[in-house]
Amino acid sequence: MNRASISRLAFVVLAIVLLFPLLSQADDLRSAMLANPCAGCHGPDGDSPGSIPALNNLSAKYISISMKAFKSDQRSGTIMNRIAKGYSDEEIDLMAQYFEDVKKRR
Amino acid sequence: MRNLSRRQILQWIGASSLIGGLGFPFTGFAKTGARIVVLGGGFGGATCAKYLRRFDSSLQVTLIEQNTQFITCPFSNAVIGGLHNMEFITHKYDKLKSKSGINIINASAVGVDPVGKKVNLHNGESISYDRLVVSPGIDFQWDAIEGYDATASEVMPHAWKAGSQTVLLRKQLEAMPNGGTVIIAPPENPFRCPPGPYERASLIAHYLQQNKPKSKLLILDSKDKFSKQTLFQDAWDSFYRDIVEWVPAMDGGKITAVDVKNKTVIAAGEKHKADVINIIPPQKAGNIAHQAGLTNDKGWCPVDQKTFRSTQQKDIYVIGDASIAGKMPKSGYSANSQGKVCAAELVAELQGKTVGVSSWVNTCYSLITPDYGISVAAVYRLSEEGIVGVKDAGGVGPREVPVATRRKEAMYAEGWYRSITSDMFG
């Protein structure tokens, strides 16, 4: 490896390090835009004041497994079977992480 | 990796900072300090104002609302049916001010000047804006049913804007005799809250059954079908077979005139007399939208389907019932969902950026009895045909379900109400 390629590699590594948080911010917005409509039933940021289950006290893993089970009708709910079918598995994971992260953002 | 040039990498960084700028729901948008005025503090406007400040806390957001408190149409049917009081559906704006930092002006807007970019108030003041969000809800087409105007609505209430009209309809029901008749007359599509008239019929029937069991309720409909129809009709068969009768337009249900003095309506040439008459007249976008040049020849506001920016006036967005939002129904949940998308798009637009994903939801519960609820839901995405429901998702609930499911949906109806009002005003 010559000097030029080392410096090139260093530049690439630096670029990735710089890029990463920016890319994950873009994911944050996507997650938020997917998760925001949930608030209509589950309360702002999943903080439900009434009879509908809150989401901000659940793990991403639990939300994700539940949503996928609703989506495939392995778990039966009232309305969630119909709602869950509106999202890809990847989107479900993003939303699940969003609600797990609510507390970190405060 | 070897093949990447520095130039390419720099381009990447540039491109992703553009996206990265949109990162926060929370703080990632750059601060622009722009002046945003939101007209109308209902499900669309209150939500949008709150989420604008979440996306960019430097924005100067002013909410102009004529009433000092907001009375929701959702759950007003429960007030009419005697299950809740007015206090339950009345909300204050104080937390939007203290927690979200929104400037609240309680005044009515008499005009918008899209060129001078200001809103004129009834007291002669004007409020300048960089961007305007218009969320005025609906007004009525008073000329559509002969004899039915604002004065007539003091005798035959519409109760389709919640408040004194809600109380009036409730009082009329309390005053009517056992063995009397109630008429509900829903309009043609499109109108605010498509399942609303049928939930109202259900909860009035519930009240009559408990208190005035010899009474009848006649739905004189201007349509031949309606939202959640199968579930409503199944439930009426089970609970209110001797009380509720639905007459579709094709069987003479369409009302053409009212005779206020004789408490009579005319549908397909036939006269129907009743003790309580609830006319839900045809609707249009709120008056201020017409004045501002935001409406089309049908009386509603065309908007860009991704951003909710008006296609007719610059720097103005329209959300909620007044807007034409593809396949989304005119509902509080739709308006709430649109308010958030509009807030993100507006903040992005101020920075010359775009939001990558567009996603909306509508969920609507209707009560048949205090313990029996039904629902419809949809997830909406942007397509070439505008906003459409995701295929194979959403829809009304199944016809055959355990009674426990209906009980749960009745409970969730109230849970929904507490959550969405907390999202708007909390």
Give the tens place of pLDDT for each residue, A43-88: 999 999 999 999 999 999 999 999 999 999 999 999 999 999 999 9
Residue closest to B292 by CA, chosen among B324, B317, B270, B272? B317
Sign of CA dihedral B198, B70, B420, B190: positive
What length does chain B have? 426
Residue closest to B42 by CA, chosen among B66, B26, B23, B25? B66
Q: Is the pLDDT of residue B158 over 90?
A: yes
Residue closest to B47 by CA, chosen among B304, B343, B309, B305? B343
Quote the pLDDT of residue B415: 98
Q: Is A22 on the interface with B (CB under 8 A)?
A: yes
- CB-nearest to B13 from A19, A39, A43 is A19
Backbone φ and ψ for B241, nearest 5 degrees, come out as -55, -40
Tens digits of residue pLDDT in B136-156: 999 999 989 999 999 999 999
Q: Is the pLDDT of residue B163 over 70?
A: yes
Instruction: Indicate yes or no: CB of B379 within 8 angstroms of CB of A83.
Output: yes
| CA closest to A84 among chain B residues | B393
DSSP tag of A86: T
Residue closest to B104 by CA, chosen among B112, B116, B96, B113? B96
Quote the pLDDT of residue A27: 72
- Judge whether B229 and B307 are in contact, CB under 8 Å: no
Tens digits of residue pLDDT in B263-287: 999 999 999 999 999 999 999 999 9
Quote the pLDDT of residue B181: 98
Residues 6+ apart with CB under 8 A from B207: B81, B82, B173
Q: Is A26 on the interface with B (CB under 8 A)?
A: yes
Q: Is B377 on the interface with A (CB under 8 A)?
A: yes
| CA closest to A14 among chain B residues | B9
Tokens of B160: 């389709």
Tens digits of residue pLDDT in B42-56: 999 999 999 999 999
Residues 6+ apart with CB under 8 A from A66: A75, A80
Q: Lowest mean pLDDT: which of A89-93, B225-229, B338-342, B397-401? A: B397-401
- Judge whether B93 and B41 are in contact, CB under 8 Å: yes
The Cα B425–Cα B419 span in angstroms is: 10
For the CA atoms of chain A, what is the radius of gyration? 19
Quote the minimal CA–CA distance from B62 to chain A in Å: 21
In a mutational test of the A interface, the residue from B100, B379, B383 whose CB has the highest number of chain A CBs within 10 Å is B379
Quote the pLDDT of residue B399: 93
Tens digits of residue pLDDT in B285-314: 999 999 999 999 999 999 999 999 999 999
- Judge whether B245 and B231 are in contact, CB under 8 Å: no
Quote the pLDDT of residue B16: 40
| Sequence-ordered alpha helix ranges (H) in B56-186 | 76-80, 94-98, 164-175
Overall average pLDDT of the B373-386 stretch: 96
The Cα A12–Cα B285 span in angstroms is: 55
Quote the minimal CA–CA distance from B8 to chain A in Å: 11
DSSP secondary structure, B384-410, as one string = TTEEEEPTTS-EEPPSS--HHHHHHHH
Q: Is B393 on the interface with A (CB under 8 A)?
A: yes
CB neighbourhood size of B89 (10 A): 22
- Judge whether B408 and A80 are in contact, CB under 8 Å: no
Instruction: Indicate yes or no: CB of B25 within 8 angstroms of CB of A79.
Output: no
Quote the pLDDT of residue A16: 57
Decide: helix, strand or coil at residue B350. Answer: helix
Quote the minimal CA–CA distance from B244 to chain A in Å: 27
Overall average pLDDT of the B14-23 stretch: 40
Instruction: Indicate yes or no: CB of B51 within 8 angstroms of CB of A36.
Output: yes
Quote the pLDDT of residue B5: 52
The Cα B326–Cα B384 span in angstroms is: 11
Tens digits of residue pLDDT in B76-100: 999 999 999 999 999 999 999 999 9
Comparing B404 with B24, which gets the higher pLDDT?
Answer: B404
Chain B residues touching residue A29 (CB < 8 angstroms): 19, 22-25, 28, 344, 355-357
Instruction: Indicate yes or no: CB of B420 within 8 angstroms of CB of A85.
Output: no
Instruction: Indicate yes or no: CB of A42 within 8 angstroms of CB of B357.
Output: no
Residue closest to B61 by CA, chosen among B329, B374, B347, B334? B347
Average pLDDT, chain B: 93
